[in-house]
Structure 1
Amino acid sequence: MVPTPRCDVFINHRGVDTKRTVAELLYDRLAQHNVRSFLDNRTMEPGDKLFETINAAILQCKIGIAIFSPRYCESSFCLHELSMLVESCKKLIPIFCDVKPSELLLTDIHCRSETPEQIDRFKMALQEAKYTVGLTFDSQNGNFANLVSRTAEIVLKNINQGSSRR
């Protein structure tokens, strides 16, 4: 297994949509509370093997935060990470940012290079996330600071309870 800095929280997100807003703000807020989070561009180093490092972080984290955005389902990386979080029974905290749970759909265009088994994994993980109580956020009218604070409170509460899903 790849040596990865221990992490409590894995932040799953579509970089082009949410990295410079919700994901990085949340990473910084959690760091202020001494919560070790995994965020690809903040945690990984040049030379790290992408899948090995990400998979190791997911397996060792306690909580997964999935930040869903309008283009989330276009990323096989996002869907792979979500699938791993669900399959490893991590506590999942969904944030629906500018998207409703019912809008999280896989299309043939998104999955043209995936195997039928991968598509089934992705669909199952999305289904699980859609039916998990999460936070909703409208970036045009919402306050990022409030979203980040609320999410951090939820994470801290779950870490303090020694949470694990199911």
Structure 2
Amino acid sequence: MQRLLSGRMITRARVSPPPSSPGCDVFINHRGVDTKKTIAALLFDRLVQLNLRPFLDNRSMEPGDKLWECIASAIQTSKVGIAVFSPRYCESHYCLRELSLIVEAKKKIIPIFCDIKPSDLHINSDAACPPKELDRFRMALDEARYTVGLTFDSHNGNWSDLVKRATDVVVKCLEEEEN
């Protein structure tokens, strides 16, 4: 099966994105300790196989890259943001800051609730984080929480099915974005 997207063929065969292409198509926002070696990596690999340009911090950046500069640029150039919510997601200000950038940039968000219900996502007040920043995080989290997403139980679910469902949604969103 093949589809044309931005002049690139979306196929089942593994084809690396052209190195000269700027930016990314999909930004994968996740809590590394919970999901980097599972759903985030599986999604990244599958999206590359589809000839898309995903951004995943540990796969897309090189030593010497400026962390926030690369992340902000990837979010700005992406068309879709995947937010992989997990039990420890809200403990990370990095995750919440990325999510805030995605929401503020008005990117399409595809939430994946992995081992957590949307109603269980809460930001704890932190003395080290300014109140204005916490409000920003809450607003972004509310936006994602009230967006229809995919739910997954990592103990009983089928990882292949989740990856297929998520990538199908991404491809559909990218096609809609083009039209």
TM-score, with length taken from structure 1: 0.93
Instruction: Determine if the alignment matches structure 1 residue 21 to structure 2 residue 61.
Output: no
Instruction: Determine if the alignment matches structure 1 residue 78 to structure 2 residue 95.
Output: yes
Structure 1 unaligned runs (5+)? none
Structure 2 unaligned runs (5+)? 1-20
Three-state SS of the structure 1 residue aligned to 2:24 is coil
Q: Which residues in structure 2 correspond to 1:109-124 (within 5 Å)?
A: 111-124=126-139
Instruction: Determine if the alignment matches structure 1 residue 140 to structure 2 residue 155.
Output: yes
> Do 2:23 and 2:73's aligned partners in 1 also have CA atoms closer than 8 Å?
no
> Based on CA coordinates, which of the two structures has the bigger radius of gyration?
2
Q: Give the superposed CA RMSD.
A: 1.4
2:114 corresponds in structure 1 to 97
Query: What residue identity is the alignment partner of 1:42?
Result: R
Q: Using the TM superposition, give the Cα deviation of residue 135 of structure 1 relative to its aligned residue in structure 2, in angstroms.
A: 0.2
> Do 2:27 and 2:80's aligned partners in 1 also have CA atoms closer than 8 Å?
yes
Stretch deviating more after TM superposition (74-83 or 154-163): 154-163
Give CA deviations for 1:93-131 in whole Å, capped at 9, x if unaligned. Answer: 0000000001000112xx331111110000000010110
Matched positions, count = 159
Q: Measure the CA separation in 1 of the matches of 2:130 and 2:77.
A: 27
1:9 corresponds in structure 2 to 26
Q: Measure the CA separation in 1 of the matches of 2:159 and 2:52.
A: 19
Percent of aligned pairs with the same amino acid = 61
Give CA deviations for 1:23-46 in whole Å, capped at 9, x if unaligned. Answer: 000000000101100000000000
TM-score, with length taken from structure 2: 0.86
Three-state SS of the structure 1 residue aligned to 2:112 is strand
Q: Measure the CA separation in 1 of the matches of 2:66 and 2:43.
A: 24
> Do 1:96 and 1:136's aligned partners in 2 also have CA atoms closer than 8 Å?
yes
